[in-house]
Amino acid sequence: MNSLHFPSVRLVVALLMFVAVQGVPRLHAQALPPVLFSEMDGIHFLDDGTAVPIWAYGWVTDGFITLPGPLLTYDEGQQVDLNFTNPSPESHTIHLHGLDVDQANDGVPTTSFMVVTGESTVYSFEATHPGTFLYHCHVTTTLHLTMGMYGMILVTRPDGTLWEGGPAYDGDVPLLFSDLEIATNNAPVESFPFHDIRPDVFMVNGLRGDQLEAPEQVIGVPYGDTLALRLGSMAYSRVQCVFPPELNAVCHMSDGRPVPEAFVVDTLEIFPGERFTVLIAPEDGWSGTIPCAFWNMVDPGIEDVQELHVEALPSSVGELPEFDAQWGYPNPASTSFQLPDWRGSEGVEVVVWDLGGREYFRGVLPGGRLDVSQWPAGSYVAQCGTHPRTRFSVIR
């Protein structure tokens, strides 16, 4: 036996004793700031299994890119440093569409800068206004957009209102419309004028058809709850959504600002780059769909219809314990729920109550992330140590 390769029995015993005394060393004790990256070698699978080449954004910690890119969420008033690195073969930017940022941080190449291959940057801005926004690459824009370089940004308020003094609601539902032309993605050779792109795949959050019926895609609404549909379009099409009257849909915001007067909406037209915030408070027990038609912008006509599925959740019998706010994300949650990042909350016990005030969970959570994948649908209230109580919903 070669002692260089096999540690002595004494050393192994010493190591085991060390582990027994010290416990397993904690990994990832320090969270690094999240970094977005861009790549040009991704694949987006359609519902029928077709593999479409994409250029897109992803989190460095995930190691892969997605269409659409990750949802970026900020609190109103937050000073944001958006880290971006570009290891891909061409230059890209992040244009913060609709956000009030200064010219240097706007991601428009001609007026600020491009992030060339191998370079990194930080886009700094203050999230001054709550609302629904978008981001996308602004290099050879039509091409880089149709290849998949876009995502949604939500700026929300910890107190669960749409804006200061605005209506209260119970959860956000990001809905990003987009489309692509398979032939272009298969052979991305040059810049296209807008009218040369004729999309043949029409998506909501990168999905279509039956994919939108998957449990985690269905918009679950507990009785009595109000959800904020965050509708934004990166499509080349004009999107037209029809809200059944049972949803009691009211449009409150457009392009990241409150509309002068909220209006009941039955048909909503969303042009490329536009965003709307629509509150829905479905009638008890109502389940159904919101059909969204994609209209060709060049030769007027409907190309495709995708349906958003809304499902009533079980009746809210009983009462929730008192809560202070609705912080944390995503809300509603289906797989996991991230509690707010309270300073000093690491290692502190978390208690969760269900409807009726029964204690449903108690424990210490690394990183403050609750695994709710096996929890029944419904509303919950969580408290971490002596921090304020936060309410959230689980959907199935």
Scan residues 64-103 and list those touching Cu ion (CB under 5 A). Answer: 92
Among the listed residues 72, 94, 137, 175, the single contact to Cu ion using CB under 5 A: 137
Which region, judged by CB under 5 A, interacts with Cu ion, from 6-14, 145-153, 162-170, 353-361?
Answer: 145-153
* Residue with nearest beta carbon to Cu ion: 137
CA distance linking residue 151 with residue 373, whole number of Å: 25
Shorter beta-carbon distance to Cu ion: residue 137 or 152: 137
Shorter beta-carbon distance to Cu ion: residue 87 or 385: 87
Site for Cu ion contains 144 (CB under 5 A): yes
How would you classify the pairing of strands 227-233 and 378-384? Answer: unpaired
Distance, CA of 40 to chain centre: 21
For residue 28, what are its two tokens? Answer: 């990832």
Among the listed residues 67, 72, 115, 139, the single contact to Cu ion using CB under 5 A: 139
Q: How far is the CB of 144 from Cu ion (least distance, A)?
A: 4
Shorter beta-carbon distance to Cu ion: residue 180 or 381: 180
Q: How far is the CB of 87 from Cu ion (least distance, A)?
A: 13
Look up tokens 């569409």; give the residue.
97
Shorter beta-carbon distance to Cu ion: residue 92 or 97: 92
Scan residues 146-165 and list those touching Cu ion (CB under 5 A). Answer: 149
Look up tokens 């990256």; give the residue.
37
* Cα dihedral 382/384/389/392 (nearest 10): -30
Amino acid at 323: F
Shorter beta-carbon distance to Cu ion: residue 93 or 390: 93
* Cα dihedral 286/47/141/129 (nearest 10): 30
Q: Could you tell me how many residues of this chain bind Cu ion (CB under 5 A)?
A: 5
- Checking 19-26 for CB contacts under 8 A at 24+ apart, the result is none
How would you classify the pairing of strands 219-222 and 302-313? Answer: parallel
Shorter beta-carbon distance to Cu ion: residue 144 or 275: 144
Q: How far is the CB of 72 from Cu ion (least distance, A)?
A: 17
| Interacting residues of 11 by C-beta distance below 8 A, sequence separation 6+ | none
Site of interaction with Cu ion (CB under 5 A): 92, 137, 139, 144, 149
